[in-house]
Structure 1
Amino acid sequence: MNRKLRMGMLGGGKDAFIGAIHRIAANMDGMVELVCGALSINQEIAIDSGRSLFLPEDRIYTNYEEMIQKESQLPEGERMDFITIVTPNFAHFAPAMLALENGFHVVIEKPITLTLDEAKQLKAKVEETGLILCLTHTYTGYPMVKQAKEIIASGALGKVRKVAVEYRQGWLSKMTEREGNAGAAWRTDPKKGGKSSVMGDIGTHAFNLAEYITGLQVTQLCADLDIIVEGRLSDDDGAVLLKFDNGARGVLTASQVAAGEENNLLIKIDGEEGGLEWHQQEPNTLLLKWQGKPTEVYRAGQPYLGTLAKNNTRTPGGHPEGYLEAFGNIYRNFVQAVSARMDGQENTTAEFPSVEEGLRGMAFVESAVASNESDQKWTDFTI
């Protein structure tokens, strides 16, 4: 490709948080330009947001149907190449399906859909069209997460025995959904956020991180979900025991009511020979712990890192990389894959979460809910 990819955005107007993050990430490598958008369900906000981003007046849309229809009718050299969907969970499936049906690649916020059935339909449509879908599980974009994945894959730690992953936040420790917090309102509404608030919103990140780094897949789980804040409609805290396909055991905890916490995501993995540990709030450090030997400290930007980590490192050692850079890595890899596809080729090194990770994420949410409602100790992880 000898040009930038053209992006359209659904949601993410000036009254939203995550849309700006996506635009920064997409623009980080100079490989993408925003050419159109339906940036809000509020017509006035949609138009004002489009103007503030200097979009042409005729490419500021007020709903996704109009945007996809009109963009599909533009000449190939003008229309958007892909759509980024940053709407609440209940508004993921329909626009993603319509975009794929009209020949557009898709970037979509997690969780991929509202239900597992929708995720299955979306995967079938991706396979039918041959188009590319990227799911923004941001944390897999960190260089030291990729280094952890390489270390596990190398066999240096031996067989994985135990995985402990947790994601703790405190922003829902009060009933903020009744105090004008729009993000809290839709996330805790089962009709808009899905069957589980805590597992859909942050538990899926922890689940994805565990499977990504270890290369293993969950086969069974045992979940305990709870509504801590009285009067809330959906769970805000939970713990899940996990069984992996190599026989390893795991425990996943997620809480949106851990007062005082910000985005405390961490993972610890124990193998036969040693273990590793990574904290999202200290993302440039990876700890390797050995039995009878000193702990090793791996740092981002250093020459001893593996290829996967180096390919996703942007700054020299000692210059912190964080959330935006990790997000940018997701977009860069997606763009490389799409550009190659448009040139009739396949990029086998571009790595990013896909529709498969989205499907497994929804299966995790629904399996956790089913387990929580069951009297059985273990529930099979089913797709």
Structure 2
Amino acid sequence: MAMVGGGEGAFIGQVHRQAAGLDGQIELVCGAFSRDRENNRRTSDALGLPADRCYDSWQSLLDEERKLSADERAEFIAIVTPNHLHAPIAEAALQAGFHVFSEKPAALSLEEVRRLAQTLAGSDRLYGLAHTYLGYPMIWQARELVSSGALGRLRKIFVEYSQGWLSEDQAAQGNKQAGWRGEPQQAGPSGCMADIGTHAFGLAEFVSGQRIQRVCASLGTHVDGRRLDDDGAMLFETAEGATGVLLASQVCAGEENALSIRIYGEKGGLEWRQEEPNSLIHRSLGEPMRVLRAGAGQTWLCSEARRRLRLPAGHPEGYLEAMANLYREFAGAIRGSGNHGYPGIEAGLRGMAFIEAVIASHHSDSKWTPLADIG
């Protein structure tokens, strides 16, 4: 693995490195971690990389790694930069012959993701997207219960992602993560919805197995001077007729990472919360509620859930393990083995179609705004 971004002081880059290394299948061999040369050097030294594999730019990383022998050069590029660089780096990496694993969103516009998808289709490379919450075992168990018909025909979906870290003007206080997320040139046309609303959207579609077809959305910006949305809510409908509500906010003071989903059908419902990821509540019509618990060896869980479990029951697994599951699946795909259960370019296209539909709906007088067809 090569990494672009994630230098000293960055949050998500360190998480990616820890997750990628969890199974011992991926080795970080080089990087272009920061545009600041001293930061770049310190990060590389701290990670034990040789000086000649610490590159001043992502362009030089791609150029120099291509010159190395196949058994020495990086096989894939992990992109953990601000949003505006995701697509340009991914496209250049694919054209240079590298696989790509990128933070989300995939790009700043649907048109940009479409171009990236065309480049990918014309290559023999792989593309993965870091929708980390889709790596949790109990999300796969929930998906299996829905697809098996345990809930009957779906009627209602409630999905919410609430945070509180932007309740104050963190950018003005020098927080770099808050700073670039508030700049349209780096973050894109949306703040909160692109950052965490896409996670809620992706979770709803993944668990339900249904595509959200249209939205009726309202966005808000609650902190003076902030240029992008920090809050939003919407009604939505799926192509199969289920209706739902999606909430995403980064100004819910006191909240941490309260991602949750409740989904109901004719026969019952499911509930999962990211802050209690080992538990899945299953409600059946006319029967007592039951709580399914994660844990290796739990034979009543579906095979996809069990495959993503690492520890015996009662030993908590969390965010790092969920992201590690994505990296393990991606590594298996590169090697030509495994079931390849990681989000890819379709998730990038769907996520960007969602963001653009939400923004259009917010500015429209029409009740409903359809999502663009990604084919």
Same fold (TM over 0.5): yes
CA distance in 2, matches of 1:128, 1:178: 44
Say yes or no: does 1:149 pair with 2:161: no
Residue among 45, 49, 71 paired with 1:51 = 45
Residue among 194, 205, 211 paired with 2:205 = 211
Secondary structure of 1:164's counterpart equals: strand
TM alignment of 1:246-265, pairs within 5 A: 246-265=240-259
Taking structure 1 as the reference length, the TM-score comes to 0.96
CA distance in 1, matches of 2:273, 2:207: 13
Give CA-to-partner distance per residue, 1:113-148, whole Å, 9 cap, x none: 111111111111111102111101000000101100
Tell whether the 8 Å contact from 2:332 to 2:338 is kept in structure 1 after alignment: no
Q: Post-superposition shift, 1:348?
A: 6.1
Q: Post-superposition shift, 1:230?
A: 1.8
> Match for residue 343 of structure 1?
none
Residue among 338, 345, 366 paired with 1:376 = 366
Say yes or no: does 1:353 pair with 2:343: yes
Letter in 2 for 1:30: G
Residue among 12, 28, 45 paired with 1:34 = 28
Letter in 2 for 1:354: G
CA distance in 2, matches of 1:242, 1:193: 24
Letter in 2 for 1:81: E
Q: Post-superposition shift, 1:154?
A: 0.5
Q: Post-superposition shift, 1:96?
A: 0.6
Letter in 1 for 2:347: E
CA distance in 2, matches of 1:349, 1:33: 21
Say yes or no: does 1:334 pair with 2:324: no
Q: How many residues were matched structurally?
A: 371
Residue among 68, 72, 77 paired with 1:78 = 72
Give CA-to-partner distance per residue, 1:94-120, whole Å, 9 cap, x none: 111110001100000011111111111
Letter in 2 for 1:332: R
CA distance in 1, matches of 2:121, 2:268: 39
CA distance in 2, matches of 1:214, 1:130: 31
Letter in 1 for 2:82: P
Give CA-to-partner distance per residue, 1:245-286, whole Å, 9 cap, x none: 111111100000000000000000001100000000000000
Tell whether the 8 Å contact from 2:270 to 2:282 is kept in structure 1 after alignment: yes
Q: Post-superposition shift, 1:41?
A: 1.3
Give CA-to-partner distance per residue, 1:286-342, whole Å, 9 cap, x none: 0001121100110001221000100000101111110010011010011101111xx
Assess, with a 3 A threshold, how the Cα gap between structure 1 residues 348 and 214 changes in structure 2: closer, same or farther. Answer: farther
Unaligned runs of 5+ in 1: 1-6, 341-346
CA distance in 1, matches of 2:239, 2:188: 27
Residue among 265, 275, 278 paired with 1:284 = 278
CA distance in 1, matches of 2:225, 2:29: 43
Letter in 2 for 1:50: S
CA distance in 1, matches of 2:319, 2:14: 13
Q: Tell me the percent identity.
A: 50
Taking structure 2 as the reference length, the TM-score comes to 0.98
CA distance in 2, matches of 1:136, 1:205: 10
CA distance in 1, matches of 2:234, 2:304: 30
Say yes or no: does 1:100 pair with 2:94: yes
Give CA-to-partner distance per residue, 1:217-264, whole Å, 9 cap, x none: 011111100111122111100002111011111110000000000000
CA distance in 1, matches of 2:9, 2:127: 26
CA distance in 2, matches of 1:314, 1:350: 18
> Match for residue 299 of structure 1?
293
Unaligned runs of 5+ in 2: none
Give CA-to-partner distance per residue, 1:352-379, whole Å, 9 cap, x none: 1001101100110011001101000000
Assess, with a 3 A threshold, how the Cα gap between structure 1 residues 63 and 90 changes in structure 2: closer, same or farther. Answer: same
Secondary structure of 1:68's counterpart equals: helix
CA distance in 2, matches of 1:231, 1:350: 43
CA distance in 2, matches of 1:77, 1:232: 48
Say yes or no: does 1:231 pair with 2:225: yes
Say yes or no: does 1:125 pair with 2:119: yes
Q: Post-superposition shift, 1:33?
A: 0.4
CA distance in 2, matches of 1:298, 1:114: 38
Say yes or no: does 1:273 pair with 2:273: no
CA distance in 2, matches of 1:223, 1:36: 43
Letter in 2 for 1:197: G
Please report the RMSD computed on the Cα atoms of aligned residues, expressed in angstroms. Answer: 0.8
CA distance in 2, matches of 1:130, 1:379: 36
Assess, with a 3 A threshold, how the Cα gap between structure 1 residues 348 and 159 changes in structure 2: closer, same or farther. Answer: farther
Q: Post-superposition shift, 1:149?
A: 0.6
CA distance in 2, matches of 1:244, 1:121: 26
Secondary structure of 1:353's counterpart equals: coil
> Match for residue 314 of structure 1?
310
Secondary structure of 1:228's counterpart equals: coil
